[in-house]
Amino acid sequence: MKTKKEKVVTKSRGISAGIVILLCFIIAVSFFTFICGDPANFVDNNPKGHPLNGNVFGTLFKGGYVIPLVLTLLFTVLTLSVERFFALRRSRGKKDLVKFVASVKLKLESNDMDGARQLCDAQKGAVANILRSGLLRYEDVEKISLNNDEKAAIIQKEIEEATALELPSLEQNLPIIATISTLGTLFGLLGTVLGMIRSFAALANEGAPDSMALSTGISEALMNTAMGIATGALAIIFYNVYSQQVQNITNAVDEIGFAVGQTYTKKHLGK
Q: What is the pLDDT of residue 25?
A: 97
Q: What is the pLDDT of residue 198?
A: 77
- DSSP-assigned letters across all residues of 183-243: HHHHHHHHHHHHHHHHHHHHHTSSSS--HHHHHHHHHHHHHHHHHHHHHHHHHHHHHHHHH
Q: What is the pLDDT of residue 8?
A: 45
Q: What is the pLDDT of residue 6?
A: 44
Task: Please tell me the distance from the alpha carbon of residue 191 to that of residue 217, in angstroms, as a whole number.
Answer: 10
Q: What is the pLDDT of residue 13?
A: 58
Q: Closest Cα partner for 226 from 199, 198, 191?
A: 191
Alpha helical stretches, state H, the chain: 17-30, 56-61, 67-92, 97-109, 113-123, 126-141, 148-171, 174-203, 211-267
Q: What is the pLDDT of residue 149?
A: 73
Q: Is 34 exposed, middle or buried (0-12, 13-18, 19+ CB in 10 A)?
A: exposed
What does the pLDDT look like over 214-247, one tens digit per residue?
676 777 788 889 999 999 999 999 999 999 999 9
pTM to 2 decimal places: 0.82
Q: Which of the residues in the chain have pLDDT under 50?
A: 1-12
